[in-house]
Chain A
Amino acid sequence: MTLRRKALTLRWLTLLVLFGLVEALPRAGLVRPATLEPASVILGRLMEIIVTGSIPSPYFARTGSPALASHVSATLGSILLSYAGAVVVGTAGGVLLWRVPLLARILQPYLVVYYALPLFALYPLFILLFGAGFLPIVLLGFCFAIVVVMVNTALGLRRVDEEVYPKVGRSLGLGPAQMYLSIYLPAAAPYVFSGWKLGFVYSTISVVASEFLISVRGLGHVIDRSYRNFETANMYAAILLVIAGVLVANAMLTRLERRLYRRRG
Chain B
Amino acid sequence: MAIIEIRGLRKVYRPDTGAPPVEALRDVSLSVEAGEFLAIVGPSGCGKSTLLEIVGGLQAPTSGEVVVLGEPVRGPRADVGIVFQEDSTFPWLTTLDNVKFGLRARGVPAAEQEERARQVIQLVGLRGFERHYPRELSGGMRQRVAIARTLVLRPKILLMDEPFGALDAQTRLLLGNELLRIWQEIGATILFVTHDLIEALRLADRVVLMTRRPGRIKRTVETAAPRPRDERLMASTEMARLANLLWEELREEVGEEGQG
A157 CB, nearest partner CB in chain B, Å: 16
B106 / chain A contacts, CB cutoff of 8 Å? 173
B56 within 8 A of A: yes
Partner of A265, one of B78, B105, B133: B133
Knowing A182-B101, A265-B135, say if A171 contacts B91 (CB, 8 Å). no
State A171–B81 Cα separation when bound (angstroms).
Answer: 7
A171 / chain B contacts, CB cutoff of 8 Å? 56-58, 76, 81-82
- Interface mask (B34-70 → A, CB under 8 Å = 1, otherwise 0): 0000000000000000000000111000000000000
Which positions 126-179 of chain B face chain A at CB distance < 8 Å?
Answer: 133-135, 153
State A182–B103 Cα separation when bound (angstroms).
Answer: 13
State A186–B133 Cα separation when bound (angstroms).
Answer: 15
Find the B residue at minimum CB distance from A265. B91
Segment at the B interface, from A32-40, A161-169, A242-250: A161-169
Which positions 199-254 of chain A face chain B at CB distance < 8 Å?
Answer: none
B84 / chain A contacts, CB cutoff of 8 Å? 164, 167-168
A145 CB, nearest partner CB in chain B, Å: 27
Partner of A164, one of B56, B57, B86: B86
A174 / chain B contacts, CB cutoff of 8 Å? 105
Find the A residue at minimum CB distance from B159. A171
Which positions 166-190 of chain A face chain B at CB distance < 8 Å?
Answer: 167-168, 170-174, 178, 182-183, 186-187
State A174–B153 Cα separation when bound (angstroms).
Answer: 13
Q: Are A173 and B90 touching (Cβ within 8 A)?
A: no
A191 CB, nearest partner CB in chain B, Å: 14
Q: Are A170 and B105 touching (Cβ within 8 A)?
A: no
Partner of A173, one of B76, B87, B92: B76
A159 / chain B contacts, CB cutoff of 8 Å? none
Q: Are A172 and B101 touching (Cβ within 8 A)?
A: yes
Q: Are A264 and B92 touching (Cβ within 8 A)?
A: yes
A168 / chain B contacts, CB cutoff of 8 Å? 82, 84, 88, 90
Q: Are A170 and B58 touching (Cβ within 8 A)?
A: yes
A232 CB, nearest partner CB in chain B, Å: 51
B12 CB, nearest partner CB in chain A, Å: 20
Supplied contacts A164-B88, A171-B56, A172-B105, 7 more A-B pairs, CB within 8 Å: A165-B90, A167-B58, A172-B76, A173-B106, A182-B101, A182-B105, A264-B91
Which residue numbers of B lie inside 8 Å of A, CB to CB?
56-58, 75-78, 81-82, 84, 86-88, 90-92, 101-102, 105-106, 133-135, 153
Which residue numbers of A lie inside 8 Å of B, CB to CB?
163-165, 167-168, 170-174, 178, 182-183, 186-187, 263-265
